[in-house]
Amino acid sequence: MKTRVLIFALLFTGIVSYAQQDAQFTQYMYNTININPAYAGSRGALSIFALHRTQWVGLDGAPVTNAVSVNTPFNESNLGLGVSIINDKIGPTHENTLAADLSYTIPTSETFKLSFGIKATANLFSLDVNKLNPVDDDPSLHDYNNKLSPNIGAGIYYHSDKAYLGLSVPNFIETNRYDDNEVAIFKEKINYYLIAGYVFDLNYFTKFKPTILTKMVEGAPLQVDVSGNFMFNDKFVVGVAYRWSAALSAMVGFQVSDALYIGYGYDRETTRLDNYNSGSHEIFLRYEIFKKNNRIITPRFF
């Protein structure tokens, strides 16, 4: 039987795994490819995305996430392709996830399309035992260095230039990262996502888009993110977001050119955790290479 000391040393990691599971993003409306493979190619351009998130600044062992993705339509077909990499650090754990996405899109009307997608992922999980400082060393913990776990997911995405609705499960396979007598201390659970948004043209210069992201995980409270963003003159974006019973966020963005968009988000906890950190910061860049016919894509929120 493994020692109780080691179990409690990993308990923090276990709590985080149940509370957060997949990497968390405030500006999810720009980063849909990471949770829904059907999004691949939906922008009609080769879209390159990079994000850095530092969560709960000042709290030792808090999550730090880096994400990079590329997605594009495939020639003139209805197929879309995507590749993404997520690096996530939480306490003594370190995860690298590589994902490949394939989507197929069916036009349902003059304005709307329905896309289906599948996602294949490979996760490399590492545990730094030096950060645990256990009283009695457990040799089995040294086996958790770049431990590979494959997975598969799927999603659907109904969308136009002004609206979208998506349902997805990025990972269907539950994975036990660490077991003690068949009790999972760190377990990757199935995450269910429902995402939706709509763009209102308030006037010639101003657009408004409310969005919602609902995330369901067994053993954790329902997570609901609600946001509202204003876009002015198709260039400048400002908005706020609220993560139910968790955090309040402010977001800004700027369309630097037809190809380049940059965004920043700041979260402030609404729980007692706010007493132990100075907030969370998130910055991203999106660069798009247009199709061969040089068709300009109208700046969008998503």
Between β-strands 93-107 and 280-289, what pairing exists: parallel, antiparallel or unpaired? Answer: unpaired
Q: Which of the four pLDDT bands, split at 50, 70 and 90, describes residue 92?
A: confident
Query: Can you give the residue range of the structural domain that contains 168?
Result: 1-10+29-291
List strand residue ranges (DSSP E) for the chain, in order.
Answer: 46-54, 64-73, 79-90, 93-107, 113-127, 147-159, 163-169, 175-180, 183-188, 191-198, 200-201, 206-217, 223-232, 236-243, 247-255, 260-269, 280-289
- Asked, for residue 300, whether it belongs to a domain, the answer is no
> In which residue are the tokens 């500006």 written?
27
Report how far apart, in Å, the C-alpha atoms of 246 and of each of 103, 182, 267 are.
33, 32, 10
- Asked, for residue 16, whether it belongs to a domain, the answer is no
- Asked, for residue 50, whether it belongs to a domain, the answer is yes
Residue 187 and residue 147 in contact, taking contact as beta carbons nearer than 8 Å: no
Mean pLDDT within 209-232: 92
- The whole-number pLDDT of residue 182 equals 52
In eight-state DSSP terms, residue 182 is T
- Asked, for residue 147, whether it belongs to a domain, the answer is yes
- Whether 215 has a pLDDT exceeding 80, the answer reads yes
- Whether 84 has a pLDDT exceeding 90, the answer reads yes
Residue type, 158: Y
- Asked, for residue 198, whether it belongs to a domain, the answer is yes
DSSP assignment of 148-217 equals: EEEEEEEEEEEE-SSEEEEEEES--S-EEEEEETTEEEEEE--EEEEEEEE-EE-SSSEEEEEEEEEEEE
- Asked, for residue 15, whether it belongs to a domain, the answer is no
- Whether 55 has a pLDDT exceeding 90, the answer reads yes
Residue 56 and residue 12 in contact, taking contact as beta carbons nearer than 8 Å: no
Residue 250 and residue 231 in contact, taking contact as beta carbons nearer than 8 Å: no
- Asked, for residue 197, whether it belongs to a domain, the answer is yes
- Asked, for residue 215, whether it belongs to a domain, the answer is yes
- The whole-number pLDDT of residue 125 equals 86
For the entire predicted model, the pTM comes to 0.85
Into how many domains does the chain fold? 1
The CATH number for 35's domain is 2.40.160.40
